[in-house]
Structure 1
């Protein structure tokens, strides 16, 4: 038997008094009490088991897209090795009964330093994926960075989240009017910030997808922000009205028929009407032509501050010189990320890049660490090395695969619980206590002594 999924304890009561045990002990108590009744958690509490069960629940194409990386996977392995090289050095008898996990980002006090990273085409894992993720995030108070390659319009996700915090990820299109339209919609949808992704001006070499010939966007999956956008629809209409842009006939195969069905199902409107219309296919072709801009440069990026009133973060920074350029271009924050190892094989681990980026931009610039985070202890290490917040990706997608929005919620609750317990066990009372002094490093960091 399995227990019902459980939510993160109320942050208003989870910290700050002896009577409130904190999210770590509260989460343990929920799980152990259910265990007395013979019920195990629906969502595993460790990443390895979570990943194994999620793989069994996902299609081969969904698994390849979510779990796969660039090339040989060296960057994915480097991300994990970087966390493993750093070991925590616990201190005893701190006297702290509870912890304050809260952080402030862009004028909003958040209950924890966690965010949900943007992941496109999540409907490969579960229908209405973005709405499920948004609800799971809202249940925990953790901001969800809505993907520009989402499967539901941002307005629908915002409605599902209510007043819960959210950001919006922007891929800089080759059409500037589309960039402006997406930014206006993000503002109107209540986004607290915009995350401009810089490391995906082209798709990296991803063998797991390539070996299956699987690109979700070519199936119409992951382009809902575009097909719901007035500027994008205008471009599609212009193309379908231009006979010079007409595409040749498609070879009729079973695969082609399945693709057309997928495109027609994903496109706004009825399946019957879409199958008769050239617009759904034209929308996919238009998206593939313009969604990202390989010629993106710092001069263009510097125009972002005139395009939106929202705080802007640049995502994909791993070099200190690029961090400085980002500040010069008007960045209000930086996401130190190698895209989860999905873009460049053999790249530097995000955690290894973090200290140099922090040194380059100083203490006042908000930094988010993304890529390779698998546990609450990982979160502690990232914060100690200079991050102000930490974004998770694959773990919550695996929760989505197992239990929808409740699975997302439970993955976050487990991470927060482990974060809280780890902080307590090493003697930290607040996030500000997490400094480089709590770490030691080396080839055998897990067995080395104090620094």
Structure 2
């Protein structure tokens, strides 16, 4: 764990924050945060997919007055960025999830709290007014309902149900490092039941759309599904009354070889109603990536690993720095594209794909 919250030098990008985090993280924990499934090809593809997207900016549009503000599920967000759920923040820094929550609150953005947080969901909610809770629906439906009731009492604004994990993805870095349990003193606090027993997260390979219907009967909170990549699943989600989707491949940590999220986004956006909340995560590293995502049909983007890098590098201040770097880059990129607000970033700023010439040999 980091020995200090103050690091020398000036961090100009999320890549700088990543490099600094690597100097203070335990190498095993750094591998856990960075790693992905199999050959990690999907994690790399997430980055490459954003880089491939070229933009066609507009000019002479008077972008002197700009606003990044947007709304998510009817609540204001200072920019179209939120914190995707990530586990074990106290592996990155002793201040853990409460520090992340305070940074999110200061930045005016939504934090999605992981079911596998190392701090109780009630304590995290005490530090931010915009929390959502991520869930893996458990075979023990009573325990799922127990978590949902806790979230409602604690003021959570939505449930984010991860649906891309009927089984655990095979993450070879963790197997090589023998990293299977949290170090002493840390545990998944949300998994402690009323009897004080620490439960395991159980991936339920038997889940169907009926589980979404049962959850809807349990709560009035908005429900978003995380891990949707196929347009047919997006259609089914709308039919089942889901309130929003995360176009996500779990950061490449589940199915290696899955489509990159930026490549999946247009197909999903094409089949949901206009204005339907679509959040894309996986591979967002620059403000220009946010522009690209919005132009492809996203409502907002989620960031995961960069939050953990910021937390490791400088605690709460590091997470805030990550968010402010993205904010500055997004504002500049939006202006350079000729847009005054996120709502003005549509498909017209995307450069058309160049067709291969016909005839001859490649």
Q: Is the 8 A contact 1:339 1:371 kept in 2?
A: yes
Matched, 1:326 2:241: no
Residue of 318, 339, 350 corresponding to 1:428: 339
Post-superposition offset of 1:439: 1.3
Post-superposition offset of 1:222: 4.7
Matched, 1:168 2:133: yes
Residue of 92, 104, 116 corresponding to 1:125: 92
CA distance in structure 2 between the partners assigned to 1:220 and 1:149 by the alignment? 15
CA distance in structure 1 between the partners assigned to 2:286 and 2:49 by the alignment? 14
Q: How does 1:17-56 map to 2 (within 5 A)?
A: 40-41=9-10, 44-56=11-23
Larger radius of gyration: 1
Post-superposition offset of 1:363: 1.3
Partner secondary structure for residue 107 of structure 2: coil
Q: How does 1:135-214 map to 2 (within 5 A)?
A: 135-161=102-128, 164-214=129-179
Summarize deviations over 1:79-136 as a string: whole Å, max 9, x none: 1111011112222222121212111221212211110010011221112311111111
Partner secondary structure for residue 96 of structure 1: coil
Matched, 1:350 2:315: no
For 2:313, the equivalent position in structure 1 comes to 402
CA distance in structure 2 between the partners assigned to 1:219 and 1:73 by the alignment? 29
Summarize deviations over 1:291-331 as a string: whole Å, max 9, x none: 33221111122211111111110000000111111122221
5+ residue gaps, structure 2: 356-362
Partner secondary structure for residue 164 of structure 2: coil
CA distance in structure 1 between the partners assigned to 2:275 and 2:332 by the alignment? 28
Partner secondary structure for residue 89 of structure 1: coil
Change (3 A) 1:387 1:219: farther
Post-superposition offset of 1:171: 1.1
CA distance in structure 2 between the partners assigned to 1:297 and 1:218 by the alignment? 34
- Of Structure 1 and Structure 2, which has the larger fraction of its residues in helix? 1
Summarize deviations over 1:133-186 as a string: whole Å, max 9, x none: 11111110111001100000011111122xx21111111111101110101111
Residue of 58, 76, 85 corresponding to 2:52: 85
For 1:295, the equivalent position in structure 2 comes to 206
Q: Is the 8 A contact 1:318 1:348 kept in 2?
A: yes
Q: Is the 8 A contact 1:86 1:441 kept in 2?
A: no
For 2:271, the equivalent position in structure 1 comes to 360
Change (3 A) 1:59 1:217: closer
Post-superposition offset of 1:40: 4.7
Q: Is the 8 A contact 1:123 1:222 kept in 2?
A: no
5+ residue gaps, structure 1: 6-38, 237-282, 445-451
Residue of 102, 125, 134 corresponding to 2:69: 102
- What's the C-alpha RMSD, in Å, of the aligned pairs? 1.9
TM-score by length of structure 1 reads 0.74
Change (3 A) 1:191 1:415: same
TM-score by length of structure 2 reads 0.92
Number of residue-to-residue matches in the alignment: 350
Post-superposition offset of 1:48: 2.4
CA distance in structure 2 between the partners assigned to 1:373 and 1:222 by the alignment? 29
Q: Is the 8 A contact 1:85 1:441 kept in 2?
A: no
For 2:358, the equivalent position in structure 1 comes to none
